[in-house]
Chain A
Amino acid sequence: MGFPKKIKKKIDLVPDKILLDRREQLLDYITEDGTYLPKSILHEDLDLGMLEFVKNDLSTVVSGKKISTIDIIITTQNWAQFAETWNFTDLDENINPPFIATVRNPDVKFGTNPALKYNIPNKKMFYYAKVPTWDGNRKGMDIYKIPQPVPVDITFNVKIFCNRMTELNAFNKVVVSKFASRQAYTFIKGHYIPIILENVSDESVLDLEKRKYYIQDYSFTMLGFLIDEKEFEVYPAINRILQMVEVVPPKRKRQKFIVPDLRDTDFYFTYLNGLTTLSQKFDFNADLTFGDLINVETYYVYVNNEYFGENSPLVFVNNGDTVSITIRKIDDNEDSKIMVTSKLI
């Protein structure tokens, strides 16, 4: 009797994330346990991902016993095969069925994953992340750029060796159920890599005068991609702005300077455009007071080229002193004036 559908068999204590949260979670997987950058995914990682997929997702149990899996890709190193299979060999040190082996075709073709197949040529680098930095004095940013991953198609043949039809059936059920939606995914360094079931074929040895056993071959294509950390670029972003403005001052005819009589009188230091310092020699003792600043932010008073003060309201000058006033303008493009009142002592 079937279990009533309305009864939940288990309740998730932590609800699954959806929408934006889920997308952020996927991004977090990619950078988990590392830098801000994704980790390299090379051929070896893809192979390992397939082995993990076969071991975990295609695990098959028959009569209470799990079918052994060879956890390496068989290569030309014979000792490695022995080292991996010694625990389920017979007295002849042949591998005892039933077992599952994963064979990778040595040729890796350019990928057909539509998400990666069409790309911008010359491995253009793309912005990936902006990471804050601190060098002890200044805050800054590092820009992380990575190239578009290179798609690859890897063909794997997962073979079951057994001598009972029930074992074939059990494994077939697991595989076909897993790939009911055409493709399944393996999880490699934070990325979900699709695997497609291409074909099922039979290589069974059923000769009359030989040991009979079944071999069934499930051909899978992994739509993987390669990411190499060595190709990543990290460079500092802008952390200080220096703005430069070039101004061409207008040429004006120099005005004839007439020495005014400065005793007990008010006069102006007039700073034309581009001029910031004016000097005046006094032939008498006087008190100078400054007022009525036009387009002047700050002025500095020098007596006989010695600094007297900033924004000084009163300056005493002796006969023969030269007073220089340097100003800082509010608007550099406009003329400035300072009214000076001279009182003879």
Chain B
Amino acid sequence: MNRKVPINRLSKFFGDKDFSLELEMGQEWLYGDMNFTLVLYQIDQSKTKKSNVYGEVEEDGIVYKTPVEFKGYVRVMEPQNENLGSTKLRNLEPGNIQISVYISELEELGIDIKYGDYIGYYETESRVRYYTVVNDGKVTSDNKHTYGGVYPYYRTIIASPVKDNEFRGN
């Protein structure tokens, strides 16, 4: 059994109640006002047939668990107009997506966002862009993610866009 140690940091002027109040206010703003909805596609490692050597799957070969909707604060970076490699082939590369999500939200839904999972974000009613998680933000020890050092309370996920032939939610 793991030992539990009481946290008394900042308790003199910022106790549990203050922390919970701030958290509830933030969630009310995020879920009530912002209301960014995303879909998490967790890879089902046991059912996905992958290459023994490269760990690759063929097109539309990824098997995922039941998609789960979750809410988070979304920032989509600017696209970059660039050449592909050293060619003159132009490519307007979509920017990464940065998602801030409450840890409590993930715990309530019973999900975890892992490196390599896919996230769908509906840009319009009919158009969804898929991203793959390149930074799952599991390290939340810094001051920003602990509200000045009290408790870790949110994670910052960074995901990069993927092409249709890698993943398209099929």
Where the two chains meet, the residues of A that have a C-beta atom closer than 8 Å to any C-beta of B are: 63, 65, 70, 74-76, 78, 81, 90-98, 101, 103, 157, 159, 161, 163-166, 203, 205, 208-213, 215, 217
C-alpha gap A31/B165 in the complex (Å): 47
Q: List 22 A-B contacts (CB under 8 A).
A: A63-B58, A65-B59, A90-B164, A91-B127, A94-B91, A97-B163, A97-B165, A101-B84, A157-B86, A159-B85, A159-B87, A163-B166, A164-B56, A165-B54, A166-B56, A208-B134, A208-B135, A209-B96, A209-B160, A211-B163, A215-B84, A217-B86
Chain A positions within 8 Å of B135 at CB level: 208-209
- Check if B88 is an interface residue, CB within 8 A of chain A: yes
Q: Are B127 and A95 in contact (CB under 8 A)?
A: no
C-alpha gap A159/B54 in the complex (Å): 21
Nearest A residue to B84 by beta-carbon distance?
A161
Task: Tell me the dominant secondary structure on chain A's binding face.
Answer: loop
Q: Are B92 and A166 in contact (CB under 8 A)?
A: no
Q: Are A95 and B91 in contact (CB under 8 A)?
A: yes
Chain B positions within 8 Å of A217 at CB level: 85-86
Q: Are B134 and A96 in contact (CB under 8 A)?
A: no
Nearest B residue to A201 by beta-carbon distance?
B86
Tell which of B88, B94, B96 touches A92, judged by Cβ atoms closer than 8 Å.
B94
C-alpha gap A75/B161 in the complex (Å): 28
C-alpha gap A103/B85 in the complex (Å): 11
Contacts A63-B58, A92-B92, A163-B165 given; does A211 touch B160 at CB 8 Å: yes
C-alpha gap A65/B165 in the complex (Å): 12
Tell which of B89, B160, B163, B165 touches A74, judged by Cβ atoms closer than 8 Å.
B89
Nearest B residue to A74 by beta-carbon distance?
B88
C-alpha gap A74/B89 in the complex (Å): 7
- Check if B40 is an interface residue, CB within 8 A of chain A: no
Top 7 A-B pairs, shortest CB-CB distance: A215-B85, A203-B85, A165-B54, A74-B88, A211-B160, A209-B134, A164-B56
Q: Are A96 and B164 in contact (CB under 8 A)?
A: yes
The number of inter-chain residue pairs (CB within 8 angstroms) is 79
CB distance from B53 to the nearest CB of A (A): 8
Q: Which residues of B (48-67) have their CB < 8 Å from a CB of A? A: 51, 54, 56, 58-59
C-alpha gap A209/B85 in the complex (Å): 17
Contacts A63-B59, A92-B94 given; does A98 touch B165 at CB 8 Å: yes
Give the B interface residue count (CB, 8 A). Answer: 28
CB distance from A46 to the nearest CB of B (A): 19
Q: Are B87 and A103 in contact (CB under 8 A)?
A: yes
Tell which of B54, B94, B163, B166 touches A166, judged by Cβ atoms closer than 8 Å.
B54
Q: Are B93 and A211 in contact (CB under 8 A)?
A: yes
C-alpha gap A74/B92 in the complex (Å): 16
Q: Are A94 and B164 in contact (CB under 8 A)?
A: no
- Check if B162 is an interface residue, CB within 8 A of chain A: yes
Chain A positions within 8 Å of B166 at CB level: 163
Q: Are A74 and B56 in contact (CB under 8 A)?
A: no
- Check if B158 is an interface residue, CB within 8 A of chain A: yes
Tell which of B56, B85, B134, B158 touches A161, judged by Cβ atoms closer than 8 Å.
B85
Q: Are A165 and B163 in contact (CB under 8 A)?
A: no
- Check if B90 is an interface residue, CB within 8 A of chain A: yes
Nearest A residue to B83 by beta-carbon distance?
A74
C-alpha gap A101/B85 in the complex (Å): 11
Q: Are B86 and A203 in contact (CB under 8 A)?
A: yes
Chain B positions within 8 Å of A81 at CB level: 88-90
C-alpha gap A81/B91 in the complex (Å): 11
Nearest B residue to A167 by beta-carbon distance?
B56
Write the B79-109 contact mask toward A (1 if CB under 8 angstroms, else 0). 0000011111111111010000000000000
Q: Are A94 and B93 in contact (CB under 8 A)?
A: yes
Chain A positions within 8 Å of B59 at CB level: 63, 65
Chain A positions within 8 Å of B92 at CB level: 92-94
C-alpha gap A161/B84 in the complex (Å): 9
Nearest A residue to B166 by beta-carbon distance?
A163
